[in-house]
Amino acid sequence: MAKKPKLSHRQKRQVAANRQKRLSGKQQSSPDLSALLAGRVIGRFGKQADVQDTEGNVVRCHIRRTIKSVVCGDEVLFARSEVPDENIGGVIEIVQDRRTVLTRPDFYDGVKPIAANIDQIIVVSSVKPELSLNIIDRYLVACEDTDIKPLLVLNKVELLSDDERETVSASLAIYQELGYELLLTSCKSGEGIAELHERLRDKTSVFVGQSGVGKSSIINQVLPDADELVGEISENSGLGTHTTTAAKLLSIPSGGELIDSPGVREFALWHLPQERITWGFVEFRDYLGGCKFRDCKHLNDPGCIIRQAVEEGKINQQRYDNYHRIIAAMAEQRPAYANRLISNPDEP
Ligand SMILES: Nc1nc2c(ncn2[C@@H]2O[C@H](COP(=O)(O)OP(=O)(O)O)[C@@H](O)[C@H]2O)c(=O)[nH]1
Ligand SMILES: [Mg+2]
Ligand SMILES: [Zn+2]
C-alpha cells in the first residue's frame, strides 16, 4: 500500500474549507444573487443568447455551463461582465421556471424546447384555397398538449360572399361552443386587424398555420418593420423540409410580443402519442376512463361511451371523424418522422 502523503497545515486548511463548502451545498462559482439582473431571452445563437433587460437594453450573454437549456422567451437572471468584451456583456446564471413551453420532437432527448413563456397561439386558417376543419383540429390538439390558449383566426374573409360567410361561420361555431375564441380577419379589407392588435397586447404570442393562409401578411400588419416576404412557400411545408433558423422574440409597437421562426410556425405538424391526441379533444375528457375496455379505440369497440356520446349528439360528429383521421395520419407519419429525425439529429 502506498504511503499516505503528509499534508501541510495550509493544505489541511484547504481541505477543511473545501469540505465545509461541499457540505453546505455551496459551489465555488455560485453567483452572488443580489447582483443579478432580470431579463428575457430574445434570441439564441449557438452557445450564446441575447437578453433584454427591464430597461430594454440588449446584452449578448454566455450561458453558465450548468444550465440545461435556454430558449427564446425564457425569463433569466444574468450577471453583467465586469470587463465587457466587445461581443459579450454578461452571463446567464439562472433560468426561471417556464410558465409554458413549445417543444419539438428530438431523436435523442424525446422532446426539445424551442420557445418559452408563450401566452397564446394564434392558429391562422383561411377560406381560400379552402377551409380545413381537420387542420384546425390538429392545431387545437397541439395547443391543448402545451396548455397554451389558442386563438383561432380565419383570414381572407373579404373573399366570401354573404352566403358563404354564413356557411363558414356556422361550421366554425363548433369551436366557439367548445370555448375557443374566433376572429375573422382580412389583410385586404382590414377587417378584424384592430381587434387582433388588441388581442396581442400584453401577451407573448406565436402565429402558426399552413403555408399560404396569410401569416406573413398578418405579421406585417402588426409589426410594420418585420418586412416579411409574402407568398413565400419555403416554410411550413411539413416533413419534407427542416430549418435551422432560430426563434426570435419581437416587440409589437402597439403592445405585446411575438416569438417567431419557421420552426415555431411548423408547430402542430409534429408527432404526438395517441393518448395526447385524445386528451386534445376537450369535449372527450368527461368520458375518458368510462369506456368498457381500457384500451378502447373509440371506434367500433363495444361499450365505447365516446362513440355513444357522438350518437346522442353530445359530441360533434365532424370532430369525432377528425379525431380518427388525425390518429390515422399520425400512425402513418410515425416511420417517416423517425427517419427525418435520424437524418437531422443536429437540428436546434
Ligand atoms: N385575398 C386575400 N389574400 C390574402 C390575405 N392575406 C394574405 N393574402 C395573400 O395570401 C398569399 C399568402 O400570404 P402569406 O402572408 O405569404 O401566407 P403565409 O404563407 O401564411 O405566410 C399572398 O398572396 C397574400 O397576398 C387576405 O386577407 N385576403
Ligand atoms: Mg409566410
Ligand atoms: Zn371508447
Query: Number of folded domains in the chain?
Result: 3
Grid coordinates standing for 238?
411539413
**Residue 7's pLDDT is what?**
77
Domain co-membership, 306 together with 259? no
Provide residues with CB under 6 Å of ligand 1: 155-156, 158-159, 186-188, 209, 211-217, 230-232
**Residue 348's pLDDT is what?**
42
Beta bridge partners of 204: 257
> Among the listed ranges 11-25, 61-75, 229-243, 266-280, which one has the minimum average pLDDT value?
229-243
Domain co-membership, 261 together with 282? no
* Residue to mutate, 155, 219, 230, ligand 1, most ligand atoms under 8 Å from C-beta: 230
* Spatial distance between the Cα atoms of 236 and 298, rounded to a whole number of angstroms: 31
| Cα-to-centroid distance, 263 and ligand 1 (Å) | 19
Grid coordinates standing for 60?
449578448
**Residue 5's pLDDT is what?**
66
* Spatial distance between the Cα atoms of 54 and 241, rounded to a whole number of angstroms: 37
Q: Which amino acid is at 238?
A: G
Domain co-membership, 145 together with 191? yes
Q: What letter does residue 72 receive in the DSSP assignment?
A: B
Q: Is the peptide bond before 129 cis (omega within 30 degrees of 0)?
A: yes
**Residue 334's pLDDT is what?**
63
**Is 56 known as a binding-site position?**
no
Domain co-membership, 245 together with 299? no
Question: Which ligand is the nearest neighbour of the Cα of 186?
Answer: 1
Domain co-membership, 217 together with 313? no
Supply the residue whose CA is at minimum distance from atom 12 of ligand 1: 212
Give tens-digit pLDDT for 183-201: 999 999 999 999 999 999 9
Tell me, yes or no, whether 232 lies in a domain. Answer: yes
Residue 289 domain boundaries:
274-341
Tell me, yes or no, whether 226 lies in a domain. Answer: yes
Q: Pick the closest to residue 275 from 143, 179, 141, 107 (CA basis).
A: 141
What CATH number is attached to the domain comprising 287?
A: 1.10.40.50
Spatial contact of 267 and 102, defined as CB atoms under 8 Å apart: yes
What CATH number is attached to the domain comprising 148?
A: 3.40.50.300
- The string of DSSP codes covering 147-191 is TPEEEEEEE-GGG--HHHHHHHHHHHHHHHHTT-EEEE--TTT-T
| Cα-to-centroid distance, 326 and ligand 1 (Å) | 26
Atom of ligand 1 at shortest range from CA of 235: 19
| Cα-to-centroid distance, 246 and ligand 3 (Å) | 41
Domain co-membership, 161 together with 215? yes
Instruction: Supply the angle between the helices 133-146 and 317-343 in degrees, to the nearest 10.
Output: 70
How long is the chain? 348
Task: Using the 3D structure, point to which of 95, 121, 137 is the last residue of a domain.
Answer: 95
Atom of ligand 1 at shortest range from CA of 229: 16
Give tens-digit pLDDT for 124-181: 999 988 899 999 999 999 999 999 999 999 999 999 999 999 999 999 999 999 999 9
Q: What letter does residue 340 receive in the DSSP assignment?
A: H
Torsion 95-98-101-107 (CA) sign: positive
Give tens-digit pLDDT for 273-299: 899 999 999 999 999 999 999 999 999
Q: What letter does residue 212 receive in the DSSP assignment?
A: T
Task: Using the 3D structure, point to which of 265, 283, 305 is the last residue of a domain.
Answer: 265
Domain co-membership, 57 together with 193? no
